[in-house]
Structures are given as structure tokens and as C-alpha cells.
Amino acid sequence: MSQTYQGYLPRNGMGHQPFAQLPTDGADPGGYAIPRRSSMRSAVLALAATLPLLAATGTAASGRQAEDAVKPVFAGPIPNIPGKSLKTVEVSYAPGGRSGAHRHAKSAFIYAYVLEGAIRSQVEGEPVHLFRAGESWTEAPGAHHVVSENASKTKPARLLAVFIVDTDDAVLTTPDPH
């Protein structure tokens, strides 16, 4: 039985853009090797479970409710890409929680995976997207994230954000000025 994967890729270097459902039964749809969702989920969860936890508690970021937290999970250089690092954070949203508009480090390519609940996300110039547990998207360097929030008023939501970023970039997220 053939499975399909619905995902989002950057368009013109900015934002998250849907791509058509593609077969994942070994076929190569136009040069993209798209993993099965269960394989992607297993890989991301294994990564999150096996990497050292760098912080015991989350810290509230500017524009977040007190119950919302960003918890560093892993940070380290990518050995075969000089000057680049992999940095991973878990973002937790309380019911109804949200982040203010923000930008990520200019060098940051981001892969986001919803661990629990549902996340509403919008990059400037693109429509709002709803991502549920097990779904993922990417954000291109320089993207302006204008909506990032828990889609539920009654249940928490969590996502894992994986950044590929210049090693010297210490600040991953900068809130928009008010």
C-alpha cells in the first residue's frame, strides 16, 4: 500500500509552501526523496530522545505567556559543514498560547515538527497553515514569522524546531519591536 506525505517547502526562498501529495513507496517524485511520515516521526523522536538535554527548565521568550516555554534540546557543530551548527529547541504552548511576530537568525534554515496538539503558523506573504501532531514544515532563512500559536484553547501544543544555522549565531529568535 502506497503512503503519501503532505508537507511544506519554501517557495522563492521564503516562507512555507505546500507541495502536492507525493508517493513514498520508493518512487522518486522528480528528484525529491520524501521519507514516509512514520520514518520521519521516528527519526525526529529518536533525535529528541537521545540528544543531551541542555536545560532542565524552559525560559519564557518575549511575547509569550508565562506557561509557554522554549527549551534548548541540543546544540552542536555539523562536522562535515564547516561553520554550520545544528540547534534544536522544544517550544511548548499552553492552551491558547502564542508567540509574537518574530524573525529567526538570518542564516537559519528551520525544520519544525509538531509533537503534540496543533500549531497555527504563518510566514509573511503566505496563508495561515494548521499543523497537527506528526506534521512538519520548513522555514527559509530570513522568513518573517507573523503567526505562531496553539490552535486549541483547551489543550497544550508542542513542537520541535531544528535549526541549521551559522555556528556564530547565538540568538535564534528576535521578537519584532513593539
Q: What pLDDT sits at residue 68?
A: 76
Cα 128-146-86 angle, rounded to 5 deg: 100
pLDDT in tens, the chain (178 residues): 333 334 444 444 445 544 333 334 444 333 333 334 443 443 343 344 333 332 222 333 334 444 679 999 999 999 999 999 999 999 999 999 999 999 999 999 999 999 999 999 999 999 999 999 999 999 999 899 999 999 999 999 999 999 999 999 989 999 999 7
In angstroms, the CA 40 to CA 24 distance is 12
Residue 92 to residues 14, 35, 117, 131, Cα–Cα distance (Å): 25, 26, 10, 14
Q: What pLDDT sits at residue 76?
A: 96
3-class secondary-structure state, position 39:
helix
Query: By CB neighbour count within 10 A (0-12 exposed, 13-18 middle, 19+ buried), where does 88 fall?
Result: buried
In the block, residue with C-alpha cell 519584532? 176
Q: What pLDDT sits at residue 25?
A: 41
Q: What pLDDT sits at residue 67?
A: 64
Tell me the DSSP string of 74-94: EEEE-TTSTTEEEEEEEEEE-
3-class secondary-structure state, position 69:
strand
Terminal Cα distance for the chain, rounded: 51
User: What grid cell was written down for 137?
Assistant: 514544515
In angstroms, the CA 175 to CA 160 distance is 19
Residue 175 to residues 25, 56, 148, Cα–Cα distance (Å): 41, 24, 12
Domains of the chain in start order, with CATH, are 4-20+32-175 (2.60.120.10)
